[in-house]
Amino acid sequence: MTLWHPVEPTVWQGRDDSAEAANALRVFQTIASPGDFSPQQYRGKVALLGFECDEGVKRNQGRAGAAQGPDVLRKALAGMASQPGHGQLVEMGNIRALPDKLEEAQQALHDALLACQRSRMRTLVFGGGHETAFAHGCAILDAFPHERIGIINLDAHLDLRHAQRASSGTPFRQLALHCEAQQRGFHYSCIGASVAANTQALWDEAANRNVTVIDDLAVLHTFDDRVMPEIARNIASYDRLYLTIDLDVLPAWEMPAVSAPAALGIPLALLLRIVEPLCRSGKLQAVDLVEYNPLFDHHGAGAKVAARLAWQILHWWRG
């Protein structure tokens, strides 16, 4: 498979408490790590893939470094306690982008994810920039061509840019065009968008494409009236759901290690209230966490926040 490589065994290490009790286990001890790409052997499990890419961030004039994120997030997750849900995780390796070869990398990631989905696995991706979402979203759409797919983006940005080349700012407009080509509906909700971080042209594009947007202030001030009904609507309306989380939706004091830290943002505790019903719905097919940039995570706090988010998703996720 092009651009794929396995994860080094040294990534999945941590404190060993197994002498204390048989169930004193951590994630690194319960994850399946076959060392190759073999999704057909893991039906019903969750495939973990990394996307070592920030070519889209570079094209979007952002701070490069997200390509180094997947393995740092794995290391932060590895030592956390393994609880119900974490035993379903299967290591499926990384897709590594070559310089200025974004489209080839997205195609390789799409193909790997599509293979996992067709093997009846669910997929969790550690990015990489938000260009990850075009590959991941297309894989879900292509795996379930006759179903209604709801796309939920937790993000400070709408990522609906018009541009001559794909970038981390274009994935949802690209997904809209992909839906048009397949003659199916584009069902996109963006929760946490900052009015200060999106130009009027982007808000116009969202309106033209009937995107549901709940901005950051609305999330903070009218959570029960606006956010939870929208989550319930997605669960009720669509056959399957794809959740994509740009870590810059978190406030800068919780997540400084992104290309564009949020001056306001949605705190992790509130974000988890959005995530939990999606995970427990039985309809969540795919999740990614994107834009983590270890070059700006000087004390490792950002990796811990992102890893706790991933840990919680796996703990709540139901097939």
pLDDT in tens, the chain (319 residues): 789 999 999 999 999 999 999 999 999 999 999 999 999 999 999 999 999 999 999 999 999 999 999 999 999 999 999 999 999 999 999 999 999 999 999 999 999 999 999 999 999 999 999 999 999 999 999 999 999 999 999 999 999 999 999 999 999 999 999 999 999 999 999 999 999 999 999 999 999 999 999 999 999 999 999 999 999 999 999 999 999 999 999 999 999 999 999 999 999 999 999 999 999 999 999 999 999 999 999 899 999 999 999 999 999 998 6
- Spatial CB neighbours of 252, under 8 Å, sequence gap ≥ 6: 261, 262, 263, 265
Burial of residue 74, with CB atoms counted within 10 A of its CB: 0-12 exposed, 13-18 middle, 19 or more buried: buried
Q: Is 130 annotated as a binding residue?
A: yes
CA atoms within 13 A on the CB side of 250: 25
6-44 per-residue burial string, b: 16 or more CB within 10 A, e: under 16? ebeeebbebeeeeeeeeeebbbbbebbbeeebebeebee
Rounded (5°) CA angle 136-160-210: 100
| Residue 259 DSSP SS3 | coil
pLDDT of residue 2: 84
Q: Is 159 annotated as a binding residue?
A: yes
Q: At a CB cut-off of 8 Å and minimum separation 6, what does 142 contact?
A: 110, 114
Q: What predicted TM-score, i.e. pTM, was given to this entire model?
A: 0.98
DSSP character for 224? I
CA atoms of 43 and 276, how far apart (whole Å): 23
Among residues 253, 252, 249, which one has the least CA distance to residue 289?
Answer: 249
Q: Of 219, 228, 268, 230, which is closest to residue 248 (Cα–Cα)?
A: 268
Q: What is the pLDDT of residue 318?
A: 80
Task: Break the chain into its structural domains and give their ranges.
Answer: 4-316
The answer to whether 288 is a known ligand-binding residue is: no
pLDDT, residue 82, reads 97
Q: Is 155 annotated as a binding residue?
A: yes
Q: What is the pLDDT of residue 279?
A: 98
> Domain 4-316, what fold?
Arginase; Chain A (3.40.800)
